[in-house]
Structure 1
Amino acid sequence: MCSELQTEKGARPSDSSLELTFKGNLILLAGNPGTGKTCLSMKFIVEGALSGEPGLYVTFVEDKNSLASNLSKQLGCDIKKLQNDGRIKILDLVAMKEEGIPTNIDIVLEEVKNLGAKRVVIDSFSAIAQAFKDPLDVRNVVHTILSRMIRRMGCATIMIEEVPLGESKISTGIEEFIADTVILLRTREVDERLIRELEVKKLRGAPVPNYKALFTLQGCGKVFQPYKPKSISEPKKFQTIPDQPDSYSTGIPDLDVILDGGYPKGSSNLLEVDSEIPWSCYAHLVRCTELNFLLNGNAFISFPFMGRTAQQIKSPLISYVDEETFNENARIVDFIESGREPYMLIVSGKNLEEASEQIFREVERLKAGRSRPVFSFIDLTTIEHVYGRDAELKVLGKEIASIRRSGDTRLYFARPSVTLTREIGDIADIHLRMRMVDGTVVIYGVRPHTGVYHYDIDTSLGYPVPKLTPIT
Structure 2
Amino acid sequence: MRKMGIDFFDEQVVEGGFPEGALILVAGEPGSGKTIFSSTWLYNGAKKFGEKGVYISFAETKTDFFEEMKQLGMDFGELEQKGLFKFIDLVTVSSETIEKEIELIMGEILTFQPQRVVLDSISVFGQLMGQAKLRAFLHTTLGRFMKATGATVLLIAEKPMGQEKVGYGIEEFVVDGVIVLKSKSLGESLIRLMEVRKMRRRSIKKPQFEYTISSHGIEFLDIPELRRAEIEPTWEKISTGIKKLDEIVGGGLYRGSSVLLVGMTGTGKTTFALHFAVNNALEGRKALYLAFEEPMDQLLRAAKNYGLPIEKVLNGNLNILNIIPEAHTPVQTFIRIKRAIEEHKPEVLVVDSLTALKQHMNEKELTKMLRYLTLLTKEYRTTIYFTLNDETDFRVVPMTGASTLTDVIIGLRYELVNDRIERRLAVVKARGSNHSRKIYRYEITDEGVVIYE
Per the normalisation by structure 2, the TM-score is 0.58
Maintained 8 Å contact 2:286/2:318: no
TM superposition shift of 1:174: 1.9
Are the structure 2 counterparts of residues 162 and 19 from structure 1 closer, same or farther at C-alpha, using a change threshold of 3 Å? Answer: farther
**1:230-275, Cα deviation, whole Å (9 max, x unpaired):** 45569897511479441389x99797433699748xx987867439
Maintained 8 Å contact 1:302/1:333: no
**Structure 2: which amino acid aligns with 1:34?**
G
**1:159-218, Cα deviation, whole Å (9 max, x unpaired):** 111123343310212211110011111221112311211111111234439811111221
Structure 1: unaligned runs, 5 residues or longer: 293-300, 315-330, 348-357, 376-472
**Structure 2: which amino acid aligns with 1:130?**
Q
Distance 2:355 2:183 in 1: 34
Aligned residues: 320
Match of residue 63 from structure 1: 61
Distance 2:97 2:190 in 1: 40
1:257 aligns with 2:351: no
TM superposition shift of 1:54: 0.8
**1:19-61, Cα deviation, whole Å (9 max, x unpaired):** 6525321010111111111111111111111120010001011
Residue 163 of structure 1, aligned match among 153, 156, 159: 159
Distance 2:428 2:198 in 1: 52
List aligned pairs for 1:15-414, cutoff 5 A.
Answer: 20-50=17-47, 51-74=49-72, 76-94=73-91, 96-133=93-130, 135-208=131-204, 211-218=207-214, 219-228=216-225, 230=228, 238-241=285-288, 244-247=296-299, 256-258=322-324, 263=352, 273-274=363-364, 277=368, 281=372, 283=374, 288-290=383-385, 306=403, 313=408, 333=427, 341=434, 344-347=435-438, 358-359=439-440, 361=441, 363-364=442-443, 371-373=447-449
Are the structure 2 counterparts of residues 128 and 334 from structure 1 closer, same or farther at C-alpha, using a change threshold of 3 Å? Answer: closer
Distance 2:433 2:143 in 1: 74
Maintained 8 Å contact 1:95/1:127: no
**1:448-472, Cα deviation, whole Å (9 max, x unpaired):** xxxxxxxxxxxxxxxxxxxxxxxxx
TM superposition shift of 1:150: 1.3
**1:57-112, Cα deviation, whole Å (9 max, x unpaired):** 010111101111111102x1322111112111111014544453332222332232
Maintained 8 Å contact 1:7/1:18: no
Are the structure 2 counterparts of residues 156 and 7 from structure 1 closer, same or farther at C-alpha, using a change threshold of 3 Å? Answer: farther
Structure 2: unaligned runs, 5 residues or longer: 235-254, 257-283, 304-316, 327-349, 388-393, 410-424
Match of residue 418 from structure 2: none
Are the structure 2 counterparts of residues 105 and 215 from structure 1 closer, same or farther at C-alpha, using a change threshold of 3 Å? Answer: same
Any idea what SS the aligned residue of 1:346 has? coil
Are the structure 2 counterparts of residues 136 and 220 from structure 1 closer, same or farther at C-alpha, using a change threshold of 3 Å? Answer: same
Distance 2:151 2:320 in 1: 40
Distance 2:5 2:171 in 1: 26
Maintained 8 Å contact 1:69/1:79: no
Are the structure 2 counterparts of residues 19 and 200 from structure 1 closer, same or farther at C-alpha, using a change threshold of 3 Å? Answer: farther
Match of residue 449 from structure 1: none
Distance 2:133 2:448 in 1: 76
Are the structure 2 counterparts of residues 334 and 262 from structure 1 closer, same or farther at C-alpha, using a change threshold of 3 Å? Answer: closer
Q: Percent identity?
A: 25
Are the structure 2 counterparts of residues 101 and 8 from structure 1 closer, same or farther at C-alpha, using a change threshold of 3 Å? Answer: farther
Maintained 8 Å contact 1:12/1:21: no
Per the normalisation by structure 1, the TM-score is 0.56
Maintained 8 Å contact 2:25/2:156: yes
Superposition RMSD in Å: 4.5
Distance 1:335 1:83 in 2: 60
Match of residue 270 from structure 2: none
Are the structure 2 counterparts of residues 238 and 48 from structure 1 closer, same or farther at C-alpha, using a change threshold of 3 Å? Answer: same
Are the structure 2 counterparts of residues 18 and 193 from structure 1 closer, same or farther at C-alpha, using a change threshold of 3 Å? Answer: farther
Distance 2:429 2:217 in 1: 50
Are the structure 2 counterparts of residues 43 and 278 from structure 1 closer, same or farther at C-alpha, using a change threshold of 3 Å? Answer: closer
Distance 1:374 1:100 in 2: 82
Are the structure 2 counterparts of residues 150 and 273 from structure 1 closer, same or farther at C-alpha, using a change threshold of 3 Å? Answer: same
